[in-house]
Chain A
Amino acid sequence: MDNFDADVVIVGSGFLGTFVALELLNAGKSVIILEAGPELADWKVTENYRSSPRKGNFNDPFGEVPWAPNSQTKGYFTSDSGDVSNLPGGTLRIAGGTSRHWTGSTWRLLPEDMKLKTLYGVGRDWPVTYNELEPFVTEAEYYIGVNGVDSDDQSGGPYSHYPPRSKPFPLPPEAKSYMTQYIQMQLAEVGMKVVHAPCTRISQPYKGRPGCIGNNMCQPHCPIGARYSGIMSLKDATDKGARLITHAVVDRIIKGEGNRIKALSYQTPEGERKTVTAKKFVIAGHGYETPKLLLLNDIANSSSMVGRNLMCHPGLNFSFLAELELWQGRGPFISGAILDRRNLPDRDKLASLHYDILNINWTTEITAELLKRKKWLGTSLDEKIRRDLSQYIFIQSMAEDLPEPGNNVTINRNWKDSLGLPGLHIHYRLNDYTRALKLRIENDYANMLRAIRGDRLSPPQNWNAEDHIMGTVIMGDNPADSVVDRNLRTHDHENLFLVTTGVFPSSSSVNPTLTAMALAIRAGRLIAGEV
């Protein structure tokens, strides 16, 4: 028998890599986790955020290192995305992964979201069904702690308790702020229903974590740990015996006999090369970093789908001043959602869509805006900032886009990091299916404006991508048009698994993390049974 460095080597120390690791460790297997970036203590992130003037840049408090460039590194990403802004979005390479600055939204997919082709004739179906995945979704919810309202219909319809759950939410919803209550009441008059947005910004203590007390900086970083983050599951994994190697930039995948993967090779910041062997390998990098590693090595790409089918939840955002002082920014970042457009019968023509009512303190943005207009100074400026802030409302929309091979991420060899590794280029065009929503969204916004008696501030203009990268190593039953199978195993390599939101065959219109966690737990358990 060969000697292996570990049973399984996992690339990436974010949520998904550590969730796989935990399954393996619970089954008594040995695990090495390779992380390109550094470790950084939570207290330091809080300090960095508070003392940085770059409040809107969620990557900023996490610093950056030249051997693990991320979305804020100059030149690392180039993009050509037409009228869609905010690509590539925010990505981190640090112990704990990009989840270090996620919002903590934990939506479930609907059974319909996973059968888009069958039911509506667009996009792709998932090779796994909702019922198959449901127990793992529940496990993830109970592991991280999720607030929610059991009786809500999250498909926006008139029903209750949908999608079906095998267990109730582990935690009750947080208290509604005055703003949420007011908006809920006003929007009801124009027939829109504001429901609670499930999240892991926990409403009361759970597993030693304190409940949310409304610091209102969920992004980039909860200063008290009420919002779950990958650094917590990573700590669980290292406590259970996972070996974490930071500053390990994996750039080579070494093939052995029979298309099996033999080893991974990584560089240290000084450029020293090291190799690790294992029985199975898991790449749990970001939706951009995972295809990058595969493309660099021409691995798992017999379908030529690696890096393609990029989906990113484009949406149109809208902000205005309400007539009343509603004081946005009390409590957690998202206080309610409107799901009325999530699963309508015309989904064959118009994409699924949901609105989030954001609840953020926008002092920096509003001050910058007012300074630009050069109308106010001194106390009158203070007074104006205070007034605008108290009335400011921000609604964000998130739409489903379709997996189209033309929307892709590719290697950009014109840029190099400190280890000589290339940058990435993104090509994205909004498809007509999603673009057709514009009228519906504008119509809805006009109704909201009327119901809340708003003063128009900035009408929706550009489509805005979310940081939810999906589709880039797409999952499917057919090896000719997909990269991984229903168990996240690559079609080409029996012992290589990709655990990332990049496997999503459809994007739905809700945040992908919880579903990805469920996929990770499911894959982790399968791998544990095989090694």
Chain B
Amino acid sequence: MRLLLAATVASTFTAIITILYPAHASEADASLVKYGEYLAIAADCSGCHNSATKGLMAGGLALHSPMGDIFAPNITPDKKTGIGSWSEKQFADALRRGISPTRGSLYPAMPYTAYNGLIDKDIHALYSYFMLGVPAIENASKETHLPFPFFRIALPVWNYFYNRPYKIKVRKSFPQLERGRYLVDHLAHCSTCHTPRNFMLAERQDAYLGGGKVWPWTAPNITPSEQGIGEWTTKDIRLFLTEGHNQYAVAGGDMGLTVQQSLSHLTDDDIYSIALYLKSIPAYTNSPDLDKDPPKKASLSQPVTELQFNTEQQLDDQSLDGSRLYQAACSSCHGVYGEGSQDGEHPSLWTNDTIRMKQPDNLINIISYGVHYRGLDQEHAMPGFVAKLNSAQIASLTNYVRNEFSGQSSQVTAEYVKKLSLYENNDYFIIKYVKIIIILAIMCLASLITSVLFWIRRKGG
């Protein structure tokens, strides 16, 4: 009896200690930090904040925005150059409201418009992970300096209008759907790339996940429509998110890295929730650019080019014959008939969404830069051809592949290929016309002031 009492007292005492000094409750902390790490992976923080030379979350990666380079800061718990001195409240504000205690308003390259829906529990776990689980690294990352008028001071106005969560209605409220929505909308911030942006560079509420532009890539429509992933089963989606490829698509560009660093590490339950959710959101069909031709029936009648050679022909590598370029540069992996490999490692070109899409950009990018990422257990690579073929040859090859395997009449020019490779994107209204608008505004203001002055003088006179 006495023993029992002693044990009770002791355990109560321990419990009190644990409550009073949570920092010493190392076991609870460890699992919290672990959970925070999982969330950080799901949110792909390292995708931008990792430094190849300095280490985990040490900052420095430049994001090439249409307005100029935006540098990802050091977010290790280093007190001087990182976020070591931030309180949890400040950390939450940075994530949800885009406000940093040191920098002021963050540029929306930081996806706070998605993180705004993160629940308190997850913020707490993330904060614990960043403070306890990430080693502090002293590295003063570069400051972002965008040209006028894209100063930080203008951001609160933008935030007032645009930092709002989506209001998407899902058909039935299974817990998986709610979890999927939380992951897609908030943690994994899919809409940051996959939702088109309006003239103010904000995501368009009416075109949720309907396909965006991450120059020079196009982030495809991922709603269950014909333009999107309507044909895909949840299994196709899961395969894509974990392995980086399925029978319809390959994760090119930054999507490859997203699979590598983030999605392939999520639990199967979470991946399934994302897949289920993406299948149940409203289908968006309003981006004619992203229309896809129906899959063409594979044909094996494509003749192999027969050629006779003399030395002069052998040394002429400037041909613009798409069929010859395809056979020589592509068929070794994708097959003489575009059938791909049996194990799916080298995609069949007949079912491929990238080739069937009306807009040729992603196909051009894949031919130019290749595909490079690590999936669950394997490295994947397609070499890029930008240094091996000239722009006119890449255009011919693109046209051949699209005509042959999707039946569209493709008219890509060498100039278009060149323009795409220059990473120049001035198509957004605000960037294209910002200077004119400002000049017009100053002229209007000037003439107004002049008239007022005239009026006063005349009145006075």
Partners in one complex: yes
Contact of B317 among A44, A211, A223, A224 (CB under 8 A): A44
CB neighbours of B370 from chain A (8 A): 208
Q: Are A224 and B383 in contact, CB atoms less than 8 angstroms apart?
A: yes
Contact of A51 among B307, B317, B341, B388 (CB under 8 A): B307
A235 to B388, CA, bound (A): 10
Q: Are B380 and A38 in contact, CB atoms less than 8 angstroms apart?
A: no
* Contact flag A48-B309 (CB < 8 Å), given A63-B314, A65-B315: yes
Q: Are B379 and A224 in contact, CB atoms less than 8 angstroms apart?
A: no
Instruction: Determine, out of B80-88, B164-172, B286-294, B322-330, the stretch whose residues face the partner at the interface.
Output: B322-330
Interchain nearest-CB distance for B382 vs A (Å): 6
Q: Does A210 contact B (CB under 8 A)?
A: yes
Q: Does A432 contact B (CB under 8 A)?
A: no
Q: Are A43 and B333 in contact, CB atoms less than 8 angstroms apart?
A: no
A371 to B370, CA, bound (A): 44
Interface of B is mostly: loop
CB neighbours of B379 from chain A (8 A): 204-205, 211
CB contact list, A206-231 vs B, under 8 A: 208-211, 213, 215, 223-225
Contact of B389 among A38, A41, A62, A213 (CB under 8 A): A41
CB neighbours of B329 from chain A (8 A): 42-43, 46
A65 to B380, CA, bound (A): 38
Q: Does B387 contact A (CB under 8 A)?
A: yes
CB neighbours of B315 from chain A (8 A): 38, 40, 44, 63, 65
CB contact list, A6-52 vs B, under 8 A: 38-44, 46-48, 50-52
A209 to B325, CA, bound (A): 19
Interchain nearest-CB distance for A202 vs B (Å): 10
Contact of A205 among B314, B324, B381, B387 (CB under 8 A): B381
Q: Are A41 and B384 in contact, CB atoms less than 8 angstroms apart?
A: no
Q: Which of A39, A47, A64, A213 has most B Cβ within 10 Å?
A: A47
Interchain nearest-CB distance for B386 vs A (Å): 11
CB neighbours of A62 from chain B (8 A): 314
A62 to B307, CA, bound (A): 15
Q: Are B311 and A63 in contact, CB atoms less than 8 angstroms apart?
A: yes
Contact of A44 among B314, B346, B372 (CB under 8 A): B314
Q: Does B332 contact A (CB under 8 A)?
A: yes
A223 to B316, CA, bound (A): 17
CB neighbours of B316 from chain A (8 A): 44
* Contact flag A204-B378 (CB < 8 Å), given A40-B315, A48-B309: yes
Interface of A is mostly: loop
Size bracket of the A interface = 20 to 34
Contact of B381 among A40, A41, A65, A208 (CB under 8 A): A208
A205 to B306, CA, bound (A): 32
Q: Does B26 contact A (CB under 8 A)?
A: no
Q: Does A88 contact B (CB under 8 A)?
A: no
A238 to B307, CA, bound (A): 32
Contact of B382 among A40, A41, A42, A210 (CB under 8 A): A210
Nearest A-chain residue to B385, judged by Cβ: A43
Q: Are A209 and B307 in contact, CB atoms less than 8 angstroms apart?
A: no
Q: Does A156 contact B (CB under 8 A)?
A: no
CB contact list, A228-263 vs B, under 8 A: 235
Q: Are A42 and B388 in contact, CB atoms less than 8 angstroms apart?
A: yes
Nearest B-chain residue to A231, judged by Cβ: B388
A44 to B305, CA, bound (A): 13
Contact of A208 among B327, B328, B372 (CB under 8 A): B372
Q: Does A314 contact B (CB under 8 A)?
A: no
A504 to B316, CA, bound (A): 37
A312 to B389, CA, bound (A): 37
A142 to B211, CA, bound (A): 40
Interchain nearest-CB distance for B30 vs A (Å): 33
CB neighbours of A52 from chain B (8 A): 309
Q: Does B308 contact A (CB under 8 A)?
A: yes
CB contact list, B325-351 vs A, under 8 A: 325, 327-329, 332-333, 341, 346
A235 to B383, CA, bound (A): 14
A48 to B327, CA, bound (A): 11
Interchain nearest-CB distance for A413 vs B (Å): 25
Size bracket of the B interface = 20 to 34
* Contact flag A51-B372 (CB < 8 Å), given A44-B314, A208-B384, A213-B333: no
A39 to B390, CA, bound (A): 14
A358 to B22, CA, bound (A): 66
A227 to B258, CA, bound (A): 29
* Contact flag A210-B383 (CB < 8 Å), given A43-B328, A44-B328: yes
Q: Does A61 contact B (CB under 8 A)?
A: yes
Nearest B-chain residue to A47, judged by Cβ: B328
Interchain nearest-CB distance for A270 vs B (Å): 17
* Contact flag A209-B383 (CB < 8 Å), given A43-B328, A43-B329: yes
A205 to B244, CA, bound (A): 15
CB neighbours of A225 from chain B (8 A): 383
Beta-carbon contacts of A178-222 to B below 8 Å, as 1s and 0s?
Answer: 000000000000000000000000001100111101010000000
Nearest B-chain residue to A213, judged by Cβ: B333
Interchain nearest-CB distance for A520 vs B (Å): 23
Q: Are B389 and A209 in contact, CB atoms less than 8 angstroms apart?
A: no
Nearest B-chain residue to A54, judged by Cβ: B309
Beta-carbon contacts of B141-169 to A below 8 Å, as 1s and 0s?
Answer: 00000000000000000000000000000
CB contact list, A94-130 vs B, under 8 A: none
A211 to B309, CA, bound (A): 30
Interchain nearest-CB distance for A247 vs B (Å): 11
A46 to B327, CA, bound (A): 9
Interchain nearest-CB distance for B129 vs A (Å): 31
Q: Are A209 and B308 in contact, CB atoms less than 8 angstroms apart?
A: no
* Contact flag A215-B384 (CB < 8 Å), given A38-B315, A40-B315: no
Q: Which of A38, A48, A64, A65 has most B Cβ within 10 Å?
A: A48
Contact of A41 among B306, B317, B378, B380 (CB under 8 A): B317
A51 to B308, CA, bound (A): 7
Nearest A-chain residue to B369, judged by Cβ: A208
Q: Are B308 and A43 in contact, CB atoms less than 8 angstroms apart?
A: no
A193 to B45, CA, bound (A): 50
Q: Are B317 and A40 in contact, CB atoms less than 8 angstroms apart?
A: yes
* Contact flag A224-B314 (CB < 8 Å), given A208-B383, A210-B381: no
Q: Are B311 and A224 in contact, CB atoms less than 8 angstroms apart?
A: no
Q: Are A223 and B332 in contact, CB atoms less than 8 angstroms apart?
A: yes
Contact of B327 among A38, A47, A210 (CB under 8 A): A47
Q: Are B372 and A224 in contact, CB atoms less than 8 angstroms apart?
A: no
Interchain nearest-CB distance for B420 vs A (Å): 20
Q: Are B387 and A211 in contact, CB atoms less than 8 angstroms apart?
A: no
Interchain nearest-CB distance for B33 vs A (Å): 32
A40 to B315, CA, bound (A): 6
Q: Which of B319, B379, B381, B387 has most A Cβ within 10 Å?
A: B381
Contact of A64 among B311, B317, B328, B388 (CB under 8 A): B311
Q: Are B332 and A215 in contact, CB atoms less than 8 angstroms apart?
A: yes
CB neighbours of B324 from chain A (8 A): 47
Beta-carbon contacts of B364-399 to A below 8 Å, as 1s and 0s?
Answer: 000000101000001111111001110000000000
CB neighbours of A64 from chain B (8 A): 311
Q: Which of B316, B317, B329 has most A Cβ within 10 Å?
A: B317
CB neighbours of B305 from chain A (8 A): 51
Q: Are B314 and A61 in contact, CB atoms less than 8 angstroms apart?
A: yes
CB neighbours of B384 from chain A (8 A): 208
CB neighbours of B308 from chain A (8 A): 51
New A-B contacts (13) at CB < 8 Å, excluding given A42-B329, A51-B308, A52-B309 = A42-B388, A43-B389, A44-B317, A44-B319, A47-B307, A50-B328, A51-B307, A62-B314, A63-B311, A65-B315, A208-B384, A210-B383, A223-B332
The chain B residues found within 8 Å of chain A, CB to CB, are 305-309, 311, 314-317, 319, 324-325, 327-329, 332-333, 341, 346, 370, 372, 378-384, 387-389
The chain A residues found within 8 Å of chain B, CB to CB, are 38-44, 46-48, 50-52, 61-65, 204-205, 208-211, 213, 215, 223-225, 235
9 example contacts (A-B, Cβ-Cβ < 8 A) are as follows A43-B317, A47-B307, A47-B328, A51-B307, A63-B314, A204-B378, A209-B381, A210-B382, A213-B341
The 8 closest A-B pairs by CB, nearest first: A205-B381, A63-B314, A44-B317, A41-B317, A223-B332, A47-B328, A43-B329, A43-B328
